[in-house]
Structure 1
Amino acid sequence: MSVVHLVDDDVAVTEACQFLLEGFGYRVQSWNESQTFLAQAALHEQGVALLDLRMPHLDGHGLYGELLKRHSTLAVIFLTGHGDLPVAVEQMKRGAVDFLPKPVSAEALVAAIERAQAISTVACERRCIRQRYESLTPKEREIAQFIVQGLMNREIAGRLNVALRTVEVHRARVMEKMMAVNIAELVGKMRAME
């Protein structure tokens, strides 16, 4: 189960929110400083970050910028008592899942977390595929691109001016490294990275 990270400088708010969410069965971790969250949280796993917009040192806006810069797979929801429409629109354009005013209803919060978890799952899958792709050698990447274009082994060998057996070996390695059981799955994974 993924973790819901509560990032808010108000301890009373994080404690109340944690109690509420744990009552719904979520695994919750509270953070009262943005910097500590950035330094210690698992930013590249499936999960949700509930960020307060107004915090000292590094506010929610700045923290979200850091998460984007670090390519975090955590989906972000903003909770704030100081929210206004322009800020909400800006954060949504940057990719935030939702922007909820405090106090938030349990139903609205749970619905936003469910949407965020689905988005984080896709982000994690995409990151995993990208890591597999990056493990390919330059020649394997080139052959993977030809496979996705629908070229047969003989055509790839002709284009690259290499032996058919060389293409077959590279193709087998591509399929193995990308954990694809067939061409359709490889194509789907390659497109998921786009």
Structure 2
Amino acid sequence: MLHIVDDEDVIRDSLAWLAQSRGINACGYATAQAFLDQAGAAFDADGDCVLLDVRMPDLNGVAVFEQLSGRGLTAQMPVIFLTGHGDVPMAVDMLKRGAFDFFEKPFNDNQLMDRVQEALAQSRAAGAGAAVRERLATLSAREREVLDLILAGKMNKVVADKLGISMRTVEVHRAHILDKMRVKTAVELAGLLK
């Protein structure tokens, strides 16, 4: 989902139309606070990206970016700044602090949408990585040991010998690991964790 945060209706509408012409779902926010109230509530499986105007009446874009950063949301929700008032030092500072990109109005529509698509791809990857980390966190210490040996290519018998447990126990742990990680085979598991 592309989140367009700009106080100008015309800009929000034209950016939403432009995004939709590329098959990107978009949602506009007239105020920074309206966006912040819902930011991070639920991430889109297709990725999230924020087009953020620098100058707005309620909160400026830099303050919004700082709040997103403080909440740890900028990896899953990359921010592209838009400004009609080019400020090179501010752009450099925002990029150093983790902004995805910075565009000065007027901008090239295709270049902007190309960067939005790259940001959405990054967001999807970050979201997938976070989901995998959450699943890994559900594994017990013994399941992590079994997982490490499975990923090393060890057969159940070798895992059982190495950990001093029965082969049946290894099979149970293996089944729990596959279930918790939401995969069906050790090959899928290895692909998920590479």
TM-score tier (shorter): 0.7 to 0.9
Alpha carbons 1:43, 1:74 under 8 Å: kept:
no
Ranges in structure 2 where 5+ consecutive residues have no aligned partner: none
Q: Across the two proteins, how many residue pairs are aligned to each other?
A: 189
> What is the CA-CA distance between 1:136 and the residue it aligns to?
2.3
Q: CA RMSD in A?
A: 2.6
Out of 37-46 and 95-104, give the one that drifted further: 37-46
> What is the CA-CA distance between 1:29 and the residue it aligns to?
0.9
Provide the secondary structure at the position in 2 that maps to 1:67.
helix
> What is the CA-CA distance between 1:76 and the residue it aligns to?
2.0
Measured in 1, the distance between the counterparts of 2:187 and 2:138 equals 20
Q: Deviations over 1:110-159 (max 9, x none)?
A: 21112122212212222222222223233222322332233333343344
Ranges in structure 1 where 5+ consecutive residues have no aligned partner: none
Report the identity percentage.
Answer: 38
Out of 180-189 and 118-127, give the one that drifted further: 180-189
User: Is 1:187 matched with 2:185?
Assistant: no
> What is the CA-CA distance between 1:43 and the residue it aligns to?
4.8
Name the structure 2 match of 1:47.
48
> What is the CA-CA distance between 1:56 and the residue it aligns to?
4.5
Question: What is the letter of the counterpart of residue 63 of structure 2?
Answer: G
Question: What is the letter of the counterpart of residue 145 of structure 1?
Answer: D
Measured in 1, the distance between the counterparts of 2:112 and 2:82 equals 9
Give runs of aligned pairs for residues 52-131 of structure 1, distance below 5 A: 52-72=53-73, 73-131=76-134
Measured in 2, the distance between the counterparts of 1:23 and 1:151 equals 50
> What is the CA-CA distance between 1:71 and the residue it aligns to?
4.0
Structure 1: 4+ residue segments shifted above 4 A: none
Q: Deviations over 1:72-110 (max 9, x none)?
A: 322321111234333333333444332111121211112
Provide the secondary structure at the position in 1 that maps to 2:139.
coil
Alpha carbons 1:97, 1:115 under 8 Å: kept:
no
Distance 1:168 1:69, change over 3 A: farther
Measured in 1, the distance between the counterparts of 2:65 and 2:182 equals 32
Name the structure 1 match of 2:181.
178
Distance 1:167 1:75, change over 3 A: same
Question: What is the letter of the counterpart of residue 105 of structure 2?
Answer: K
> What is the CA-CA distance between 1:169 and the residue it aligns to?
0.7
Provide the secondary structure at the position in 1 that maps to 2:110.
helix
User: Is 1:34 matched with 2:32?
Assistant: yes
